[in-house]
Chain A
């Protein structure tokens, strides 16, 4: 099937298994949330899908193509990092334009796309701001806009709302849900979300998968808690 296939992934660090035989499939446009206790390997799985870590065993397929050995920059995935990782030497617009620039997109088209993306996340007025001046919520929106610039086939969100106060968390969660809805309709991007917050997982994803801690069980196979059809659950 097209979309994202995670097939029998295993990963150990310094001899300690973190992921063991983990398999998941996401259809195009589907949103899946991975939940579980810290240290259970959620973020590691995300990094393996992004190509930032290599699995010890198993494979990653995107749109039926095995990308396990494809370097990160050629995988066509977008990622929002837990701590945003905005480039401190660039302003907001240049952060968002980064992927377009890397792909050689011309200045006029870049400017148009950046305006569109910043409009999408409601930050058009901060295009020239320095990233050090942004609030936590604004930084996360910029990180999201930046990851969407190349219309990725798979979008990876690593604790995208962590570190915000409750009020900002809730408002940004609603906004993120709307953005992902719009994106899903337009591009068919599959979204894999990692969070420790079950409410956030329920709200943002159509399907929730709990990853158990390898230290508690013999095998860290995921336990599927919800199995709604993609698109059934509206944020």
Chain B
């Protein structure tokens, strides 16, 4: 079947289907960034801000935690990545699904899980943050490296051995160079995710540790230092954009492998491979099991009070000024996630169709990925704050922001499939009398359905867990579940903690179910 031909000539330069996505990104990312940039220049504090208390420490901590987390993650990911990428064993696809699922877990869930797991003296230490980052980001490395690693033909390693290379030499001189681009890209991504970590550091880092993202939030919300927050936000975005641009320019040309998807041809796993996988799965499962157990304990006893508070069957208690509506936050999170899915999916598909025709359109939909969610939220708060542009209380704002955060993901999942759509069935439909919309409805969309389903599920998971932007946008009466978890784990008392653990457990169960559901349906 023929595939990959441009879908249409005339629309190539216009990018029609990408316009709604472009409008959303412009409104919620580009304009706020421009406003932040102009204010940072006007502020005149560009040099002075770096000497304000906490700013230098935040920059240093971001670098240190970024580098250390990358190192620990690569070490932790090496074993399972090699075993899954190069060995065949029963339950391999299940192991892969479990080990890659933490990637979509909300950051507050990961923070809560480690809070539940670690002994008190390790809570709110740099070790706790490192462990949580490694837990979270190991799945990033596995996701990025395994597909390339499993496509390295075993015959190449055999060829190296017939040429005199021992098993280790064959590995380091053949397999490793082939997967190096994916490995470097994964390491870069882990560094950026860790250096700009917000949810995990808020929950596990304690009051004295802040990444630049946490410092932006602290300055904007707690200290009222808008000029400082603005300059930090702009500087951080510029640095991240520069790193991404340099990484993109330095990326070597993709290596053409003779075949791909060779998992079935891989050698059988030996006992050590099985041990590696069992230990890796345990590392994923144990913190989550500790989280579930914590949601069922109050004051050292087994209790479902946390769950009853979450479902609105029991009040949280405490002083009336501090009371929060846990059940309301759950309802709100679900509604917002639904709204984000309904917005991000069609917009992302439109952007993917335009990007498949002309790769320049990809930049628009990928833009939100280059700006930290914290900066997006802050930018929106600063930009849309007066007159008819005061959207901060609008019910559509948070779902729209979540949709913009999910947009790069939808485009990235759907675009390859759009580009690979075979033309035969489309031309056959045309000869049978189907016009363009009918062809889309009856031929193209059904062929794209697996990717669209995956993208929708991941959008929902991303929205449910979104914390960075929402931390800025949610008001007292419009908190989402992750915002509430952050609030509750910061409070003293057993009951708020149990409610936070129950909320985190529910977020974990929903996001895991969404991801495992679509991963199981994905053809291997």
Interface residues of A (CB under 8 A from B): 50-52, 71-74, 77-79, 81, 83, 85, 87-90, 98-99, 101-103, 132, 146-147, 149-150, 156
A90 to B, closest residue via Cβ: B177
- Apart from A87-B159, A98-B165, what 12 extra A-B contacts exist at CB < 8 Å? A52-B158, A73-B161, A73-B166, A77-B162, A78-B162, A79-B159, A83-B258, A85-B153, A89-B255, A99-B163, A102-B173, A132-B256
Contacts of B159 in A (CB 8 A): 79, 81, 85, 87
Q: Is the CB of B178 within 8 A of A73?
A: no
CB-CB nearest in chain A for B166:
A73
Counting CB contacts under 8 A, is B174 at the interface? yes
Q: Distance (Å) between the CB of B266 and the closest chain A CB?
A: 14
**12 cross-chain CB contacts under 8 A:** A72-B162, A77-B162, A81-B155, A83-B155, A87-B156, A87-B159, A87-B174, A88-B156, A88-B258, A101-B173, A102-B165, A149-B163
* CB <8 Å contact, B177 and A102: no
A102-B165, A102-B169 known; A88 vs B160 contact (CB < 8 Å): no
**Chain B interface residue count: which class?**
20 to 34
Question: Does B161 contact A71, Cβ atoms closer than 8 Å?
Answer: yes
Alpha-carbon distance A89/B159, docked complex (angstroms):
14
Lowest 5 A-B CB distances belong to which pairs?
A99-B163, A85-B159, A72-B161, A79-B162, A85-B155
Q: Which residues of A contact B119 (CB under 8 A)?
A: none
Q: Whole-angstrom distance from the CB of B309 to the nearest CB of chain A?
A: 56
CB distance from A148 to the nearest CB of B (A): 11
Number of A-B contacts (CB under 8 A): 74
Question: Closest CB-CB distance, B238 to chain A, in whole Å?
Answer: 34
Which of chain B's residues have a CB closer than 8 A to the CB of A88? 156, 178, 255-258
User: Which residue of chain A has its CB nearest to the CB of B158?
Assistant: A52
Which residues of the other chain, A, contact B156 by a CB distance below 8 angstroms? 85, 87-88
What's the least CB distance linking B270 to chain A, in Å? Answer: 14
Shortest Cβ distance from residue B173 to the other chain A in the assembled complex, whole angstroms: 7
Most chain B beta carbons < 10 A, residue from A51, A79, A89, A99:
A89
- Scoring A78, A79, A90, A102 by chain B CB atoms within 10 A of each residue's CB, the highest score goes to A102
| Complex CA–CA separation, A149 to B166 (angstroms) | 17
Whether the Cβ atoms of B178 and A89 lie closer than 8 Å is: yes
A85 touches B255 (CB 8 A): no
Q: Find chain A residues with CB under 8 A from B160 CB.
A: 87, 98, 102
The minimal Cβ–Cβ distance linking B170 to chain A, given in whole angstroms, is 8
State in angstroms the CA–CA spacing of A103 and B173 once bound together: 13
Residues in B with CB closer than 8 Å to A99 are 163-164
With A102-B165, A102-B173 already in contact, the answer to whether A72 and B158 are too (CB < 8 A) is yes
- In the complex, what residue of chain A is closest to B169 when comparing beta carbons? A102
- CB contacts (< 8 Å) of A132 on chain B: these are 255-256
Give the distance in Å from the alpha carbon of A88 to the alpha carbon of B151 in the complex.
Answer: 12
Which B residues touch A102, using CB under 8 A? 160, 163-165, 169, 173
Cα distance A71–B161 in the bound complex, in angstroms: 8
Interface string of B242-264 (1 = CB under 8 A from A): 00000000000001111000000
Q: Contact: B155 with A89, CB < 8 Å?
A: no
Chain B residues, CB < 8 A from A89: 174, 177-178, 255
CA distance in complex: A221, B164 (Å): 31
